[in-house]
Amino acid sequence: MKIVSVVGARPNFMKIAPIIRAVTSQPSIEHLLVHTGQHYDEKMSKSFFKDLGIPKPDVNLEAGSGSHARQTAEIMMRFEPVLLKYKPDLMIVVGDVNSTLGCSVVASKLRVAVAHVEAGLRSLDRDMPEEINRLVTDSITDIFFTTSPDADQNLIKEGIAKNRIFFVGNVMIDTLMHNLNKASQSKILHNLHLKPRGYALLTMHRPSNVDDPQILKRLAGALAAINQDIPVVFPVHPRTRNNLKHPALKNLNAQLSRLKLIEPLGYLDFLSLMTNARFVLTDSGGIQEETTVLGIPCLTLRENTERPITVTQGTNVLVGSDPKKILSEVKKILAGRHKKGRRPKYWDGKSARRIVETLMKLKKNNRLLLVPQR
């Protein structure tokens, strides 16, 4: 079986790493790794490949940045010749970034079977570009690998046949468990003069939070208040750093400067920070899952989540951008009254193995494509 795996942006790297290990352990599988170049700088890409032990991509499309339309179109144009030359049986895409969408459209039109890892996740919020990517990708996917039962139900409601849906668990957690020991050797706490459970960790990059000056002002005020009770460590996304200079935040800048603002981190250093944090504030999807498995309280700075299992079973609480709600939940955490949660089924470090075993069975039974070629 010939398989092409696609990565493009930082969230993809943690998801593809265990799949590559599982795929390359099978002598009967020939594998090609394609990096679209959606994230292309040192912090966003190369350091993650090194930390996660991902081999150098066989093909780098170097698509670069741009608007959603321009970037997706560039990825599609550059990816098509790769598929035409390599002629794989199957393409694996992960997550919900522009690379996921663009490469899925190209593969589907060329009648290459598409396997979507993390299929079926839904926020029901079409203002999120990722939600559009998820919906379109799943509409042309052949094989659906899901992380949770709610994702299965979403797909069934959308008319997907049950025998095309495979609940395999969460590959993000495969990577987490594989790297916990290495992350424990990181010097990041020492370098930042931090003590375990002595700080809160913040990530914030979504346009809905950082592009609207009024919302950013509300959040910045809450963060400054939290920082008076416990230090807030903030690896600042370039987009967010630029927006923090907005005139509307002028009166808050002195307070915000007291947060521990640092540059974006590689995977192992960030995992070390997350593992040792008292709690995490985030607008990221994957971090909601990782904190659930680590048992770390997580406050999600969004009104919705495509990962509801982290709320119903995990440590995650949706707080949006409401300072009162944020500060109320922080107070509970600092008082030891936070949500405890439990680990969801199949979030056990073996999801990638289940994916590859399933693909080999489908190939053997000639069932990779939803609609077989004539």
- Indicate which residues carry an active-site annotation: 205
Report yes or no: 326 and 234 within 8 Å, Cβ to Cβ: no
Separation CA 224–CA 18 (nearest Å): 38
In 3D space, the residue among 195, 325, 336, 206 whose CA is nearest the CA of residue 260 turns out to be: 195
Rounded to a whole number of angstroms, the distance between the first and last alpha carbons of the chain is 20
CB atoms closer than 10 angstroms to residue 44: 16
The b/e string for 297-320 (b: 16+ C-beta within 10 A; e otherwise) is bbbbbbeebbbbbbbebbbbbbbb
Characterize the bridge pairing of strands 90-94 and 59-60.
Answer: unpaired
**Residue 46 carries which DSSP code?**
I
Element (H, E) at 81: helix 68-86
Separation of alpha carbons 290 and 293, rounded Å: 5
Residue 193, class by beta-carbon neighbours within 10 Å (0-12 exposed, 13-18 middle, 19+ buried)? exposed
Residues in the chain: 374
Instruction: Determine if residue 320 is left, alpha or beta; phi over 0 gives left, psi from -120 to 50 gives alpha, anything else beta.
Output: left
Task: Dump the DSSP string for 249-290.
Answer: GGGGHHHHTTSEEE----HHHHHHHHHH-SEEEE--SHHHHH
19 near 171, Cβ under 8 Å? yes
Residue 160's SS3 state is coil
Q: How far apart are CA 179 and CA 333, in angstroms?
A: 27
Tokens of 340: 């405890």
What tokens appear for 240 in the block?
């967010």
**Helices 171-184, 10-24: inter-axial angle, 10-degree rounding:** 100
